[in-house]
Amino acid sequence: MAFRFWGHFQRQFLTCHKIILLVAIGIIVGSYFIFYSPDLFQKSETADKISASGYINSFDIIEGEKLYQQNCASCHGSQLQGEANWRSSKEDGSLRAPPHNKDGHTWHHPDRILFHITKFGGGAIAPKGFNSNMPAFNKTLHDVEINKVLAFIKSKWPKEIRQRQKNISDKDKASLSQ
């Protein structure tokens, strides 16, 4: 009798422990998703770092990709690969659209210049008389949309390239505020 009671007690006790253990695991895994998971709840570290102006999030990057495919891909390539033979200029001396991925020189420029070229076109920064094929988008895209397209482009760069371009932008900002 006493033996049976002891067996029963042991089983109960173990079940109870298992439940406590399961609940504890549930709490740990649950809080991981709530506080650290980048995809749920839009806490995307990458998107935050890419943000030039502080209001770009993962949804904006998705929209930026759409705008990119509609407005930029025809010249710069749907995979950001640039025009074929982009390193050699055309017969009329104008340039071909360079890639926007890490192989191009988009990331050599600070945010201010990337925004300026997209808004006002290649002619806005080129020397007088230079025939640019990069159109101005000030009539097609709002400033916010330009920032979204640029955020999408940046989201395709490896972390190290993003950091280097950020340093270039920070230097540029510092030199302007002097």
Figure out which of the listed residues 15, 69, 74, 78 binds ligand HEC, where binding follows CB under 6 A: 74
| Shortest Å distance, C-beta 153 to ligand HEC | 7
Minimal distance, residue 43 CB to ligand HEC, in Å: 27
Of 51, 81, 132, 138, the residue at the interface with ligand HEC (CB under 6 A) is 132
Quote the least distance from Cβ 95 to ligand HEC, whole Å. 4
Closest CA to 135 of 61, 66, 76: 76
| 147 interacts with ligand HEC by CB under 6 A | no
**Sign (positive or negative) of CA dihedral 165, 168, 174, 178:** negative
147 token code pair: 């920032």
Could you tell me the smallest distance in angstroms from the CB atom of residue 137 to ligand HEC? 5
Residues 80-119 as x/- pattern, contact with ligand HEC by CB under 6 A = --------------xxxxx-----xxx-------x--xx-
The answer to whether residue 134 forms part of the interface with ligand HEC (CB under 6 A) is yes
For helices 58-71 and 143-155, give the axis angle rounded to 10 degrees: 100
- Altogether, the residues listed in the chain come to a count of 178
Among 101, 149, 151, 157, the residue binding ligand HEC under the rule CB under 6 A is 149
x/- letters, 26..45, toward ligand HEC (CB under 6 A) = --------------------
Q: Which two tokens stand for residue 86?
A: 């982009």
C-alpha–C-alpha distance, residues 20 and 141, integer Å: 56
- Cβ atoms within 10 Å, residue 122: 18
Q: How far is CA 112 from CA 5, 21, 78, 118, in A?
A: 78, 54, 24, 10
Determine, following the binding rule CB under 6 A, whether residue 61 of this chain makes contact with ligand HEC.
no
Measured from each CB, the residue nearest to ligand HEC is 122
Query: H-type helices in 36-57, by residue range?
Result: 45-50
Diameter of the chain measured on Cα atoms: 104
Query: Which residues contact ligand HEC (rule: CB under 6 A)?
Result: 71-72, 74-76, 94-98, 104-106, 114, 117-118, 122, 126, 132-135, 137, 149
